[in-house]
Structure formats: C-alpha cells, structure tokens
Amino acid sequence: MNNRSTQIRFPYDRRKGVQTVLWLLNKHGDKLNKMQLIKLIFLAEQYHLFHYGRPIVGGHYFAMKLGPVCSELLDDIDQSASQGIFPFSLKGYEVVTNTAANEDFLSESDIATLMAINREYGDMDKYRLSSVTHKLRAYSNNWPEGSEGRNPLPYEDFFLDVEDKSMLDIIKDDQEAWAGLE
C-alpha cells in the first residue's frame, strides 16, 4: 500500500548549480541581476521537474518576499562576494563572471530546459520575473499575505500549476522506493 508520506527531496548539486549560473550569465553578456538569475533558475527547475522528474540543481526551496529561491544556491551566490571560491562574483546586485560554463556538468535535458526558459523569460527584468513567479501557486501557496522571512516550498507544490500530475506520482514512487532501501 502506498501512503505517500515521504516528502520529495533532491540534494543540492553545487557543481551543477555553479555551471547553471555560469551558463545563464554567459547568455547575458557574463552578468545578470541576482534576482533575475534566481528566478530564471527556479523556472528552469520547475520545468525540468515537470518534464524529466528531477530538478537541475536541487536543494531546499523557500518562498520569500521577492519569490521562490533555492537556499543553497542563494548562499553560494552571496558567498561568492565575500569568499571568492566560485567562478563568479557579486558586484552590487549583479552576478558577474569571466568564465565559460562547462556544459559537461549539465545533461542534454538540463541545457534544453535552460535554453527554453531563457528564450521565454530571459529578456524580462527582475520585477516582471518576480511577478511571474508570484503568480505561481507553488509560490502563493507557501507565501500567505503578511508573511515574513522564508517559508519552505516543497517540491510537491511545484506541481500545483499543472493539471497532469503523473510525473509527481512517478517521483513519489521512486523516492519511496529508495527510502525503503535505506
């Protein structure tokens, strides 16, 4: 009997996170507003999860005042300004690089998804992208009016905006099967 009690989890993949950041930066002249970057990555994560049953970067997602965010990726971007351990840096509100992405770390579906999301949303400014993500039920379900700080945004809620939940069922079955082997 399937009780579906296991919460979906995907570990954060720092190498893919860094390459995803670099890939998007490279497509925007090696610089992008931090909020734009975070929103584009969220939209890519959601799209990839719907179509391929896994996110590109993974990690823990939260609903925050300006929209959904991967906590670990945001930390890496913020730490890039102070620690210099990543091939990009934060200058004011711009994430910048002079390093090309190594696409060997990204799958064909990762790149296809990033291309599709960048084509559809890449020209939007940070406020318009924030508005797009605020309209998603995945966000609004986890950021009730008057919220402060951050609220967990479970992967299950990424599917609130799609009618076909078959991929969600597959992911849950897969994660429950792996949980049973631990």
pLDDT at 4: 47
Q: How confident is the prediction for the chain on average, in pLDDT? A: 93
* pLDDT tens digits, 106-139: 999 999 999 999 999 999 999 999 999 999 999 9
For residue 138, the tally of other CB atoms under 10 A from its CB is: 23
Instruction: Collapse the DSSP code of 175 into the 3-class scheme (helix H, G, I; strand E, B; otherwise coil) and give the result.
Output: helix
Residue 82 pLDDT: 74
Judge whether residue 27 has pLDDT over 80. Answer: yes
Q: How confident is the model at residue 37 (pLDDT cuts 50, 70, 90)?
A: very high
- pLDDT for 83 beyond 80: no
Dist CA 179 CA 27 (whole Å): 38
Percent of the chain residues topping a pLDDT of 90: 86
Q: Write out the DSSP string of 126-174.
A: HHHHHHHHHTSHHHHTTS-TT--SEEE--GGGGGGG-S--HHHHHHHHH
For the chain, domain boundaries: 14-181
Task: In whole angstroms, give the CA distance from residue 67 to residue 101.
Answer: 26
Planar angle of CA 71, 76, 80, nearest 5 degrees: 150
Residue 182: pLDDT over 90: no
Name the band, by pLDDT with cuts 50, 70 and 90, for residue 5. low
pLDDT digits (tens, 9 = 90+) for 65-76: 999 999 999 999
3 has a pLDDT exceeding 70: no
Contact of 56 with 114, CB cutoff 8 Å: yes
